[in-house]
Amino acid sequence: MGNKYIIRLTGALAMILALVSCEPQMADKPDIGAAPTSDQLDFTITPGSDDFNFVITNTSSVTGIASWDFGNGTKGSGESVISRYPMPGDYTVKLTLVTRGGVATKTKSFTQTETDFSIFTDPVYVNLTGGVNDADGKTWVVDKDTKGHFGVGDVTLATGIGLDWWSADPDIKSGTGAYDDELTFILTDFVVSYDNKGVSYVKGYTKDDPKLATVYLNPRLNKDDYDVDYATPVTGTWTIIEQGGADYIVINSETPIFPGLDVGAKDNKYKILKIEENLLELTCESSYENWTKWHYFLIPKGYVRPTITYTVNVTEGIDNEVSCSVTGYSIPDGQSVTGITWNFGDGSVEVTGGKDEVVKHVYMRKGTFTVTAKLSSSLGDLTGTKQIVLANNNSAYVPFLLDMMIVYNDLSEVQVFPLLAENCTLTTVDNPEKEYPNKSAKVALYSRTDNQYANAYIRLPAGFRFDLRLQQVFKVMVRGKAGDVILLKLENSDPAEPWKTGTEKTYKIQNDDSWEVAVFDFNGVPGGFNWTGDMYAPDVVADDRFNHDFYNTLRLMCNSTVATGTHSFYFDELSGPHVEGIHK
């Protein structure tokens, strides 16, 4: 059977290692003149480190930039390169030399008589193709259910893992042409087949590639990404090369072949970060963006990942002591859970316990808390949550509330609560005018285009609420255009429709481009909405349902009654009532 299979592979397109020994140079630039002729070109093919590596060296009588087609599905450039031929066959090597006067080519025939039998047992080849026993090859698809199946990172990172700038959430590109693409790698003749079911998913900078198609669909999910009509299946060839101690897959085809998302892989080359029976992890550099590394997770078609199921239990005991455990495990053979890290959702230190251990925690304040169990398992970290509602404070808890204001965030030194953005741009920038009344080094810049409800906001930690009984005034330093209206709104985030709980005040900016203090006094301000049939108060300060243990979200908006256009302002020193249990 082995000899029969070798005969089938004879003359097949094979693997290549193209190592460039030096950068292309034109040290002795000839005068501009007629293009070189093929008889001025020459090169040698000599044995390399073993029977399968050959050194190919440009010996032309004219100087230029040399590039190569090695006749085995791979290409390279440089004065002296190494090409790998693991299978018997006749190969045509082509030199292309670019000089100041023009371009010339020269070809030579090369015969390999040896067979590198190691590829038939090499885990890289076997895992990629299914090996000699899988004549139809092995089909791979994007692992859409795993975070990071597409990703972007810094190409210079020592780790080489392209997930540092963006990591795709599971199924985030659903509805595009990304997830039904199939890549089949066949060991026989080193064929790769690509079937995209008619539509491919591409980056915006590759959509005009004439090899793709003539009809483009609308951008989806991201203005820089496109679905493109692209008839498949198409076939090409693949090879494995080794560079710098790492293996790469090189795909050669007349029309582009790519793993779910076309980013214009440089030299059609994908670095193998990990290759296992059920996982192929790749990165590539883009020909269009030389500062990024793209990342891919692929799994075999039809593969179903093993899963571990379990139940998170949180039980209230005496005086806010809560017992936390995980039970009801279903763990497939060969898998395991080794420990659990507990986060109690109240800002306390995380606690690590055993797989079956009951962990206890005492909550000091009443409120609604989300307990998170992070299980360390053979399948990676698994996360489960459980919510608990505590109606009373712990008996030992002593309230700490002051009749004073505190700074929530001044963008320079104090950050009792972080500032977040919803449908707007929120950046920390240098103070555009470090003069009285605001000499802070850093301030916040809010900007939104359209979307009148876009806002900057803070949300108190679980269990904490704004208390308006002793202090009812909020302040923020603002700088914008005269007439712009800044709205400060308080909400309770617990209901399904938080807007129905809100209370709000506005401040109109008095002067152009000048720092001024916006004051929002909630005495006598109504809360909730009486026309919705939900809870309502004509004065949130006077109503015990609203003035404490209720509002936990503060939002800032600009010109919230204007639906269109771009609106922006600077702000700083966001301050308000002392939050019970929190102090500056």
pTM, 2 dp: 0.56
User: What is the CATH code of the structural domain delimited by 123-300?
Assistant: 2.40.128
User: What is the CATH code of the structural domain delimited by 309-390?
Assistant: 2.60.40.10
Q: How far apart are CA 137 and CA 390, in angstroms?
A: 58
Indicate the SS3 state at residue 23: coil
The percent of the chain in helix, strand and coil, each rounded to the nearest 5, is: 5, 45, 50
Share of the chain above pLDDT 90, in %: 57
pLDDT of res. 76: 79
What ranges do the domains of the chain cover?
2-115, 123-300, 309-390, 405-577
The three state secondary structure string of 174-230 is: CCCCCCCCEEEEECHHHEEEEECCCEEEEEHHHCCCCCCCCCEEEECCCCCEEEEEC
Please give the radius of gyration of the chain, using alpha carbons only, rounded to the nearest integer: 33
pLDDT band at 19 (very low <50, low <70, confident <90, very high): very low
pLDDT band at 365 (very low <50, low <70, confident <90, very high): confident
Is residue 579 predicted with pLDDT exceeding 80? yes
The DSSP bridge partners found for residue 105 are: 96
Q: Which of 107, 106, 109 is nearest to 89 (CA)?
A: 109
Share of the chain above pLDDT 70, in %: 89
Q: How far apart are CA 226 and CA 202, in angstroms?
A: 5
pLDDT band at 64 (very low <50, low <70, confident <90, very high): very high
pLDDT of res. 283: 92
The pLDDT tens digits for 250-294 are 998 888 899 999 999 988 899 999 999 999 999 998 888 766 789
pLDDT of res. 454: 96
Q: Which residue has the tokens 């089949």?
A: 184
Q: Which residue has the higher pLDDT, 528 or 163?
A: 528
H or E element that contains 323: strand 321-330
Q: Which of 219-228, 357-366, 413-422, 468-477 has the least mean pLDDT?
A: 219-228
Q: Which fold has domain 405-577?
A: Jelly Rolls (2.60.120)
| Within this chain, domains 2-115 and 309-390 share the same CATH topology | yes
Q: How many CB atoms lie within 10 A of CB 199?
A: 18
**In one letter, which amino acid is 440?**
S
Q: Which of 229-233, 350-354, 459-463, 499-503 has the least mean pLDDT?
A: 229-233
Mean pLDDT over residues 505-529, rounded?
96
pLDDT of res. 492: 94
pLDDT band at 215 (very low <50, low <70, confident <90, very high): low
Q: Which two tokens stand for residue 208?
A: 């005009």
pLDDT of res. 28: 45
pLDDT band at 214 (very low <50, low <70, confident <90, very high): low
Is residue 23 predicted with pLDDT exceeding 50? no
User: What is the CATH code of the structural domain delimited by 2-115?
Assistant: 2.60.40.10
Contacts of 125 by beta carbon, 8 Å cutoff, 6+ apart: 119, 131, 187, 240
Indicate the SS3 state at residue 239: strand
Q: Which residue has the higher pLDDT, 524 or 174?
A: 524
